[in-house]
A and B are shown apart, each in its own frame.
Chain A
Amino acid sequence: MSIDTSSTEPANIQPVDPLTDGINKYDFRTETKAVFKARKGVDKEIIHQISDIKNEPDWMRQFRLKSLEIFESKPMPNWGGAINIDFDDIYYYLKPTNEQGRTWDEVPDEIKETFEKLGIPEAERKFLAGVKAQFESEVVYGSLQEDLAKKGVIFTDTDTAVREHSELLREYFGTIIPPEDNKFAALNSAVWSGGSFIYVPPGVEIEFPLQAYFRINEESMGQFERTLIICDEGSKIHYVEGCTAPMYTSESLHSAVVEVIVKKNARCRYSTIQNWANNIYNLVTKRAVAHEDAVMEWVDGNLGSQLTMKYPAVVMAEPGARGEILSIAFSSKGQHQDAGAKLIHAAPNTTGQIISKSISKDGGRSSYRGLAKVEKGAIGAKCNVVCDALILDPESRSDTYPYIEIGEQDVSIGHEASVSRIGEEQLFYLMSRGLSETEASTMIVNGFIEPLVKELPMEYAVELNRLIQLQMEGSVG
C-alpha cells in the first residue's frame, strides 16, 4: 500500500488541528496548512504506515518490524541519567506535506532574535526555521552536489538513499549499530526518518567540510534521524552536523543513530554541535569502525536538553587504526549531560585518544562516562584519556565514570582527570582589566574549551563561542 498524503487522507493519519496542536511555541507550522502525523505511540501498524509512506523496499520494512520487537523486549538502561518517557505519548512520524513551505515572515520573532544573537549565517537561519527554497544556499547546494557527483560522491538524505542506492546502503546499514545494541538504537531502527547518507569512493578527498545544512529538504532533521557514512579506501572527509542554534522539536525525545565505516587508509572527521531545547531527552548512539591504518575522529559538542546520553565510539578493528574523540558538554539549570566516549582496541598497534571537557553551571550536572577497552591480541595498543571538568558555582555538579578493560599485556593506557572551579583570582584579574564579571567568566569558559573549539571549522567555532556567551549572560553575580 502506498499512501500519497497530498491527495486523499488515509486512515490512521490524522490531520493536526492547528489550534489545539500549536501549543509548542517553537512549532513553525503555519495555521493554514495541515501537517500529517501518524498517531501517537509505536506499534506494527505505525511501522507499516511509515514504510508505506516512504515507499520502501521490503527488506527495510522487515528491518523496522524486527527492530520494533527488539525495542519492546529491551529494558530501559539502568545507568546514566533518569529517563522518564511515556513511549505511548510520542508522535514517531511526521510527514511534512508538499505545500508546507514557510516563509521567513512566519518565523516567530523570538527565534529570529536568537539566530541574530548567535550570528548564524542567513542561509542556515532559514534552514533551521524550516524555511524552504529561494535563497542563496540553494545555489551553493546545487553546485556542491554537481562537484561531488563528478567525483562519485553520494551525499543525500537517508530516505532517498534507501530508494536510489539500495544495494550500497543495505550492505552497511545496521552493521555497526545493530538494533540489538540498545533500546534506543532499536527504537531508531524501527521508526527512523531522515539523516544523511554519504559514500566517498576510494582515494577521493573532500577538502572542505561537508555540512548537513547544505542538504536542504524537510526530512533532514528529524527526531529519529539515521546517518550512515562510508569512507572507502584512502578517502578523506570532514562532515559537520547540526549547529549551535537551539533546536526545537515538537516531541521530547530525540534518538538518532550514526554509523560510520572508515576503510583502509581513509580518514573521517565527524563534528557535531547541538543545542537542544530544555525539555528534550537526547539519547544518541554513534559508532565508527576504523579499518587498517584508518583514522576516525569525533568532535562532539552538547548543550541544552534535559538529559543527553551520548558516547561516540570508535572500534579500531584492524592494525594501525586510530580513533580520536573530543567531547564538550555544557550543562545548565535542570540539565544533565551524561556524555563521554568509547574506544575499543580490537587489533594490534591501534591508537586511541579521548579528550573530554565539561562545564556545569546554575545547578547543572555533567558526567563523563567513558570506556577504554583493549581486547586480547591488540598488542601495542596505545590509549590515552583526559577529562577535565569546570564547575562554575557550588550548586553544580560533575562526575567521572571511567571504565577501563584491558585484555592484553603489552599495551599503554593513560587516564587523567581534573575538576576545577572558576577561581576568584582569575575573575579578579580579568575584571581588573575592565571586563565585567560575565565577560570574564565567559572568557574563562571559552578558554577552557579552546583546545577543542580550535578543531572546529571557523564558523562553528565562532558560533560555539557566541553560544557560550549567551549561556553565560546573567548567570553570575
Chain B
Amino acid sequence: MTDQLKIENLHVSINEKPILKGVNLTIRRGETHALMGPNGSGKSTLGFAIMGHPAYEITEGDIFLNGESLLEKEADERARAGLFMAFQRPTSVPGVKMADFLRHSTTNVRNPDRQEGEDLIAMKEFRKELKEKMAQLQMDPEFARRYVNDGFSGGEMKRAEILQLAMLQPKFAILDETDSGLDADAVRLASQSIADIGGQEMGLLIITHHDKLLVHNPPDFAHVILDGKIVETGGAELAAELHTKGYERIRAEHPSEAATP
C-alpha cells in the first residue's frame, strides 16, 4: 500500500488566534504537491502543525499517517515515523557539530525504536555516506564540522536543510520556501538537488511563492491557500498561472476569504 498522509478538516490556532480553518489535503508517497498562497495565509502553519510544533494548537480535525492519528505524537516520533520539514529559517544550535547532530538524527530515524543511550550508526559508514551526499550537493566537507546553522548564510542554511533531507530520506517532506533568499543559480542547484536525492520517491509538499523550485520538481497537484483554507486545487498549470498572474483571479472568486487580512 502506498504511504499516505491525510489532513482532515484541520483547524490550528497560535496563541488562541485561529490560523487554519479547515484544511483538507491528502498526499500519497511519490506525489509532489505545491502549496501556494499570499503571505499570512497559513502555509507555514500547516507545515509546523503537521510536524508537531508545540506552539501550534490543533483545535479541530486530525492528521493521519497511514490511517494512524499523529496528534498525540511528539515531533521526534513524527520524524521517526517518516515526516520531515525543511524550515524556512532553521534555528542555530551553537556548539553542536552538523556531523554529530546528523549522526544522531539519522540513527533515530532509521531505527525508530532506538532507546536513548543505544548505539549510533557506525561512524565509518556514516562518514562515508555523509561525504557522498555532501559531494552530491556540492558542499565543502568542512561544513560537517561547523556548528548547526551557526553563522550560516541564507544559502548555506537551505543547503544544510536539503542535506538533512538527503540523509533522512523521509516518506513525506514539507519544503517551506526552500527557494526563498536564494539567487537564481542557488535555486537551480537546490531544486535539482531535491530531485537528485530521490525527492520524487517521497511525498513532497512544496511551499513556495514562486515556481522556480517546481521546474525540477513538477507538481502533480497545486493548492491555493487563502485565509486558512484550501480554496482551489489544480495541476501544474495552476502553479504556472499563480506565478505569472498572481492571486487576483483567486481572490475575486473567493471574496470572503480574500477579505480577511
* B217 interface residue (CB < 8 Å to A): no
Residue of A434, A443, A447, A473 ringed by the most chain B CB atoms within 10 A: A434
Q: Nearest chain-A residue to B74 (Cβ)?
A: A431
Contact with B along A423-444 (1 / 0, CB 8 A): 1111011111111111110011
Contact A435–B105 (Cβ < 8 Å)? yes
* B251 interface residue (CB < 8 Å to A): no
* A199 interface residue (CB < 8 Å to B): no
* B87 interface residue (CB < 8 Å to A): yes
Q: Nearest chain-A residue to B147 (Cβ)?
A: A447
Contact B168–A425 (Cβ < 8 Å)? no
Partner of B87, one of A429, A447, A450, A473: A429
Contact B96–A428 (Cβ < 8 Å)? no
Decide: A446 near B95, CB < 8 A? Known: A434-B79, A435-B104: yes
Partner of B96, one of A117, A432, A437, A444: A444
Contact A434–B108 (Cβ < 8 Å)? yes
Partner of B93, one of A117, A430, A434, A439: A430
A420 to B108, CA, bound (A): 28
* B158 interface residue (CB < 8 Å to A): no
Size range of the interface on A? Answer: 20 to 34
* A449 interface residue (CB < 8 Å to B): yes
Decide: A448 near B94, CB < 8 A? Known: A435-B108, A437-B76, A443-B101: yes
Interfacial chain B residues near A77, Cβ < 8 Å: none
* B54 interface residue (CB < 8 Å to A): yes
Partner of B51, one of A425, A432, A446: A432
Q: Nearest chain-B residue to A451 (Cβ)?
A: B95
Contact with A along B131-161 (1 / 0, CB 8 A): 0000000000000000110000000000000
Residue of B54, B93, B109 ringed by the most chain A CB atoms within 10 A: B93
Contact B76–A447 (Cβ < 8 Å)? no
Nearest-Cβ distance from residue B108 to partner chain A, whole angstroms: 4
Q: Which of A427-477 contact B (CB under 8 A)?
A: 428-440, 443-444, 446-451, 469, 473
Q: Nearest chain-B residue to A357 (Cβ)?
A: B95
Contact B109–A434 (Cβ < 8 Å)? yes
- The tally of CB-CB contacts under 8 A between chains A and B is 87
Contact B54–A450 (Cβ < 8 Å)? no
Q: Which of B146-196 contact A (CB under 8 A)?
A: 147-148, 164, 168
Interfacial chain A residues near B79, Cβ < 8 Å: 431-434
Contact A447–B96 (Cβ < 8 Å)? yes
* B229 interface residue (CB < 8 Å to A): no
Contact with B along A233-265 (1 / 0, CB 8 A): 000000000000000000000000000000000
Number of B interface residues at 8 Å Cβ cutoff, please give it.
32
Interfacial chain A residues near B148, Cβ < 8 Å: 447
Contact with B along A120-133 (1 / 0, CB 8 A): 00000000000000
Contact B94–A435 (Cβ < 8 Å)? no
Q: Nearest chain-B residue to A452 (Cβ)?
A: B95
Nearest-Cβ distance from residue B158 to partner chain A, whole angstroms: 15
* B209 interface residue (CB < 8 Å to A): no
Contact A424–B116 (Cβ < 8 Å)? no
Contact A426–B75 (Cβ < 8 Å)? no
Contact with A along B113-127 (1 / 0, CB 8 A): 000110000000000
Interfacial chain A residues near B109, Cβ < 8 Å: 433-434
Contact B101–A430 (Cβ < 8 Å)? yes
A438 to B105, CA, bound (A): 13
Interfacial chain A residues near B52, Cβ < 8 Å: 432
A438 to B53, CA, bound (A): 16
Partner of A434, one of B80, B95, B147: B80
Interfacial chain A residues near B91, Cβ < 8 Å: 423, 425-426, 429
Contact A431–B95 (Cβ < 8 Å)? no
* B206 interface residue (CB < 8 Å to A): no
Interfacial chain B residues near A451, Cβ < 8 Å: 95
Interfacial chain B residues near A450, Cβ < 8 Å: 94-96, 147
* B55 interface residue (CB < 8 Å to A): yes
Interfacial chain B residues near A117, Cβ < 8 Å: 117
Contact A443–B53 (Cβ < 8 Å)? no
A469 to B84, CA, bound (A): 26
* B85 interface residue (CB < 8 Å to A): yes
Q: Nearest chain-A residue to B90 (Cβ)?
A: A429
Q: Nearest chain-A residue to B51 (Cβ)?
A: A432
Contact A429–B54 (Cβ < 8 Å)? no
Partner of B116, one of A431, A434, A439: A439
A457 to B51, CA, bound (A): 40
Q: Which of A161-180 contact B (CB under 8 A)?
A: none
Nearest-Cβ distance from residue A463 to partner chain B, whole angstroms: 15
Interchain residue pairs A-B with the least CB separation, the first 4: A447-B95, A450-B95, A434-B108, A433-B105
Contacts from A to B (Cβ < 8 Å):
117, 423-426, 428-440, 443-444, 446-451, 469, 473
Q: Can you offer 9 A-B residue contacts whose CB atoms are under 8 A?
A: A424-B55, A428-B53, A432-B52, A432-B76, A433-B76, A434-B80, A436-B108, A447-B95, A447-B148
Contacts from B to A (Cβ < 8 Å):
51-55, 74-76, 78-80, 84-85, 87, 90-91, 93-96, 100-101, 104-105, 108-109, 116-117, 147-148, 164, 168
